[in-house]
Structure 1
Amino acid sequence: MMISDFIKNKHLANRAGFGMSLQQITDFEQQSPKAIWKLYAQPHPLHAISFSSEQGAVDYTALSHLNASDKKLVQQLNRKRNIDINLNFLEAMVHGEDQLREKMAFFWHGHFASRVINANFSAHILNEIREHALGNFRDLLFAVSKAPAMLSFLNNQQNKKGHPNENFAREVMELFTMGRDNYTELDVREAARAFTGWSYDKDGQFLVRKKFHDTGSKTFLGKTGNFDGNDILDSILEQPVTAQFITRKLYRFLVNEQVDEEIVSLLSRDFYHSGYDIRQLVNSIFTADWFYDVKHIGNKVKSPIELMAGIMRILPMEIAYPENLIIYQKLLGQMLLYPPNVSGWPLGKAWIDSSTLLLRMQLPQIWTGLRPLELDVHNDDDLDMGLKQSRALAKAYKNPKISIDWSTVEVTFGGRDPFRILLQRQLSFEKALRDEYDSENIRLAIIEAMSTPEYQLC
């Protein structure tokens, strides 16, 4: 089956970024996938994700000593800052020039899953992930392993000589590097001893509390020595299975949930021998002929964030209350900064059930003002990570004040078939739908195309 360059370019945009933007349509119709990939592969200056600073720095080690009133003020500040970080990250996905970096940061954000109330810690680990997203996996692993957010989330603050806490050591091996069944319980216990004392100070700076560190001899992955946490991470990286575990997970995220083990084996071998060069790995994926095989195109269910960002990229919009986007993340099941657990978010059909599918298909109609949201969102302190909506927000989210720049959209789509532009799979009833719309009804055609089940796929 012949696949047009336009479909290949959209496939690349969906996997190496968050979908084609309105401004990219002409280039995608005229240029080759090789030329488009050069645009995605081009490095850009990194702009850190931040939050508005209404107050000075907060000493989070002193919170337990605050009275109830002061503690409430700190919690409110955290909520606002976490909302800022969430929305600024989403903004980078939608409008950032470096789509590849933001897509890889989104992947690592789920891979190195952490969840903390402390907004300073949230911003720090997210920016570490974005800085190293296309760099060296060793640098990324060391950075997130020493981040206060991760040490706090996985309880390494409680990991002390004589009373080791195994949580951090176990998850580093099981979820972040080697995968289950590639280490023993003895390895977990010995690694935990090596990580004793890994902590952070009141300013959120990593430090090793020497009086809590176990300096005794340890046996890990068949080797014995006076290992510390750095030695453990380096030993893990020496294992080819680590490169294989990371490559397989990235293949499932970028290419197909049905893994081609032969391809993954070749990719992981090169990844290992490159010294864990992430940019080289993704370049090998996105420049391979097999990446554009028809079996990989339009086979992936968009995650909620990918769905939202994709709509926002193709429909230029101004949102009167950006905080509403937090509500939609919650309703769709994927809140940035708040993965469900240390395993991160699921893939594929796990995103689809009877309630979420209906909302996903109605989202373009809700955001363009054709219908109100018919679901209610409920406050849940744990689920919301402290991101409680205000009264104004609670009243506003069902009819979000979103202004679409329809004049620009209509000029760009003029003479083009919205279904061809927006979908990767042809609809059996597509021609019948097309015939209902003339050039004056292009808005309805775009919304209709975005409201199909096929738009849920990329």
Structure 2
Amino acid sequence: MNNSIQIKHLHARAGFGIRFNELHDQQNWSVKKAVKKLFEASEKTEPLAAIDENIDLRFKPLMQNDGEKRALQEERNRQERLLNEGWLKQLSETDAQLREKMTLFWHNHFSCNIGNAKYQQDLNNIERANALGNFKTLLLQVSQSPAMLQFLNNQQNQKGHPNENFARELMELFTLGRGHYTEQDIKQSARAFTGFAFNGKTGLYAFNPRVHDDGPKTFFGQTGNFTGEDILNIITANKQTAVYLCTKLYRYFVNEVPDINHINQMADVFYKADYEIKPVLEYMFLSDWFYEDKNRGNLIKSPVELLVGLNRQFYITYQNPDVLLQFQRTLGQVLFRPPNVAGWPGGRNWIDSSSLMYRMKIPSTILNAGVIDFAGKATPEDEAYLASQKKQRFNIINRVQAVPDWNKFLNEIPLDTSHLQIAEFLLQPKLNNVIIDEVNKSTDIKAVAIQVISTPEYQLC
């Protein structure tokens, strides 16, 4: 049985796409085997290691003159670029696609934006190490990470002066969702998290008993001298946490429109597995509904998914990695720089009239210096447009400095493959008549690829 449609869909969602030769090799696999192989490829964790120094440990505020402050800020900016480039490279090259795709999910779920690249990298590695592990372990480690403690002000959360930022976002964004707790629960929870702190001299988590409020607290109807760990246990004992997380997973992997029955099935699996992440993902990827027509080619790629998918498909190298940062800024998703504590809203929010124009232009900019070779007789407007584009071509090549490996891409495609088959492979949605007409007129595979990835349909996965 040819399962290529299902396997292509699985890789588009559980990873960043599949290459032509891989799909050809796997087309007669069962879906169960394809899912098993995805997990096997992601068993090992490769930590991100772009940053090796914590600049804050060098920081001596009272001894700084303007020159030192400037130098420190330049070093911060340099580290931030290295971190961004390092993760984008890892996303584009790793075989552990599912682990990185889930790390991207947790990166947005535990949204964090601070000016310390080492703390951000450490949080990212916590998310990566636990991406397919246990959510309760992940939640505790995130709660104790210097990045999150700093971002949500738990460093300032002390007995007698509770800071409620972390306690509020823990329930609203990380576990239960809005409407499933009271203001009183937030106040009592904040008291329990006093003492969760990191040492400014070592940059490591170190519980501070001196500032911890060890008095009795009443949280979700239970009373005790609760610590932060106790609060996390009470929250995860509430099945609403499993429902909330499975709703987010469903919207990330399946469909923007939640299906309550499917989400409840996922939540049952997740809750019974004591928040082990692998069983709920396996359940989802092996469900018939995951592969239904209405759930294929219906999600808008995030900017990072778009760029990583191109990098992987066409083996792109960048002589000037800063260009990738510029693309992220233009498209509205810079890794490690979410807009706020709620993260990127995703879905249809990725697209507006200007960003769609940029999105459709970026693939041809990377692969062909901005030129889309449309077949057939061009209109006068098209000819003028293409002439102006060709004039700019040299400038684009100099500026973007992106080199796709066309030979590698083309060598993976059997000689008897039709242009329509290539178009079908590159797109998740079904081909429409406009695309079919253009593809049929094309003279070579390279032209087909550039045309297809410059369509609005390529923005969907």
Q: Normalised by the size of structure 2, how large is the TM-score?
A: 0.89
CA distance in 2, matches of 1:209, 1:128: 22
Show the counterpart of 1:451. 454
CA distance in 2, matches of 1:138, 1:321: 40
Contact preservation (8 Å) 1:319, 1:402: yes
Query: 122-131 or 342-351, which moves further after superposition?
Result: 342-351
1:241 to partner: Cα distance? 0.6
Show the counterpart of 1:172. 170
Matched, 1:11 2:14: no
1:330 to partner: Cα distance? 0.6
1:396 to partner: Cα distance? 8.0
Contact preservation (8 Å) 1:423, 1:449: yes
Matched, 1:432 2:430: no
Query: 39-48 or 308-317, which moves further after superposition?
Result: 39-48
Contact preservation (8 Å) 2:54, 2:118: no
Matched, 1:418 2:401: no
Correspondence list, 1:140-219, <5 A: 140-201=138-199, 202-219=201-218
| Paired amino acid for 1:237 | T
Contact preservation (8 Å) 2:8, 2:23: no
Show the counterpart of 2:367. 368
Structure 2 regions of 5+ residues with no counterpart?
Answer: 372-394
**Percent identity over paired residues:** 39
Let me know the Cα RMSD of the aligned residues.
2.0
Contact preservation (8 Å) 1:327, 1:397: no
1:38-57 CA-partner distances (Å, limit 9, x unpaired): 2211143211112254x686
| Paired amino acid for 1:39 | K
Secondary structure at 1:231 match in 2:
helix
Correspondence list, 1:57-456, <5 A: 58-59=56-57, 62-63=60-61, 65-201=63-199, 202-371=201-370, 399-413=399-413, 414-416=415-417, 417-425=421-429, 426-438=431-443, 441-456=444-459
1:289 to partner: Cα distance? 1.2
Contact preservation (8 Å) 1:427, 1:454: no
Show the counterpart of 1:40. 38
CA distance in 2, matches of 1:277, 1:39: 19
1:122-164 CA-partner distances (Å, limit 9, x unpaired): 1100000000000000000001111011010111111111111
CA distance in 2, matches of 1:397, 1:370: 6
1:19 to partner: Cα distance? 1.1
| Paired amino acid for 1:158 | Q
1:427 to partner: Cα distance? 1.6
| Paired amino acid for 2:302 | S
Q: Relative to 1, partners in 2 of residues 1:70 and 1:15: Cα closer, same or farther, differing over 3 Å?
A: same
1:411 to partner: Cα distance? 2.4
1:210 to partner: Cα distance? 2.0
1:371 to partner: Cα distance? 1.9
Structure 1 regions of 5+ residues with no counterpart?
Answer: 373-394
Contact preservation (8 Å) 2:56, 2:116: no
CA distance in 2, matches of 1:64, 1:325: 37
CA distance in 2, matches of 1:447, 1:424: 16
Higher relative contact order (CA 8 A, sep 6+): 1
CA distance in 1, matches of 2:397, 2:64: 34
Contact preservation (8 Å) 2:176, 2:240: yes
1:63-93 CA-partner distances (Å, limit 9, x unpaired): 4643332232222222222222212211222
CA distance in 2, matches of 1:331, 1:400: 14
CA distance in 2, matches of 1:64, 1:13: 53
1:244-263 CA-partner distances (Å, limit 9, x unpaired): 11111111111111111111
Show the counterpart of 1:380. none
Contact preservation (8 Å) 1:51, 1:82: no
Contact preservation (8 Å) 1:44, 1:97: no
1:34 to partner: Cα distance? 2.6
CA distance in 2, matches of 1:309, 1:9: 19
Q: Relative to 1, partners in 2 of residues 1:57 and 1:434: Cα closer, same or farther, differing over 3 Å?
A: closer
Contact preservation (8 Å) 1:194, 1:213: yes
| Paired amino acid for 1:421 | F
Contact preservation (8 Å) 2:319, 2:402: yes
CA distance in 2, matches of 1:264, 1:429: 37
Q: Normalised by the size of structure 1, how large is the TM-score?
A: 0.90
| Paired amino acid for 2:441 | E
Query: 248-257 or 361-370, which moves further after superposition?
Result: 361-370
CA distance in 1, matches of 2:147, 2:2: 45
CA distance in 2, matches of 1:108, 1:56: 23
1:412 to partner: Cα distance? 2.2
CA distance in 1, matches of 2:87, 2:243: 29
CA distance in 2, matches of 1:204, 1:433: 57
| Paired amino acid for 1:16 | A
Secondary structure at 1:219 match in 2:
strand
CA distance in 1, matches of 2:272, 2:104: 25
| Paired amino acid for 1:105 | T
CA distance in 2, matches of 1:183, 1:192: 13
CA distance in 1, matches of 2:118, 2:171: 26
1:60 to partner: Cα distance? 5.8
| Paired amino acid for 1:283 | E
| Paired amino acid for 1:229 | G
